[in-house]
Structure 1
Amino acid sequence: MTTSPLPSDPNDLAIAAGEAAAEVLPAATPLVAGGAQPGTEHVVSSFAGAAVAAVAGGRIAVLVGDELVAALEASPLGGLDLAAAVQPALDAVAAVLGASAQAATQVELTLVVADLGGPFTVVPLIGSGIAAALLLPDALLAPGAAAGGTSAGAAPVASGAATGEAASVRDLGATALGGISGSGSGSGSGVIPLVHRGIEMLHGVDMEVTVELGRTRMAVRDLLALAPGAVLELDRAAGSPADLLVNGRLIARGEVVVVDEDFGLRVTEILDDQAAS
Structure 2
Amino acid sequence: MMKQEEIMEFLNRMSESDVVKKVQYPVFSIPNPKDNMKVSINFIDDIQVIITAELGRTTLRIKDILKLSEGAIVELEQPAGETAEVFVNDQKFGKGEVIVIGSNFGIRMESVSQNEKKESIGK
The structure having more radius of gyration, on CA atoms, is 2
Confirm or deny a common fold (TM above 0.5).
yes
- Count the aligned residue pairs: 83
2-structure distance, mates of 1:276, 1:236: 26
2-structure distance, mates of 1:269, 1:213: 15
Corresponding residue of 1:230? 72
Corresponding residue of 1:215? 57
Pairing 1:102-181 to 2, within 5 Å after superposition: none
Q: CA 1:196/1:215 → structure 2, altered by over 3 Å: closer, same or farther? A: farther
Corresponding residue of 1:245? 87
Corresponding residue of 1:270? 112
The alignment's TM-score, normalised by the length of structure 1, stands at 0.27
What secondary structure sits across from 2:56 in the alignment?
Answer: coil
1:234 positional shift: 0.9
Fraction of identical pairs, as percent = 31
The alignment yields a C-alpha RMSD, in angstroms, of 2.6
2-structure distance, mates of 1:275, 1:203: 15
Q: CA 1:273/1:203 → structure 2, altered by over 3 Å: closer, same or farther? A: same
Kept after mapping to 1: 8 A contact 2:94/2:116: no
1-structure distance, mates of 2:42, 2:61: 45
Q: Structure 2 stretches of 5 or more lacking a match?
A: 1-36
Q: Structure 1 stretches of 5 or more lacking a match?
A: 1-194
1:196 positional shift: 5.8
Kept after mapping to 2: 8 A contact 1:215/1:234: yes
Residue 254 (structure 1) aligned with residue 93 (structure 2): no
Q: CA 1:196/1:212 → structure 2, altered by over 3 Å: closer, same or farther? A: farther
What secondary structure sits across from 1:252 in the alignment?
Answer: strand
1:231 positional shift: 1.1
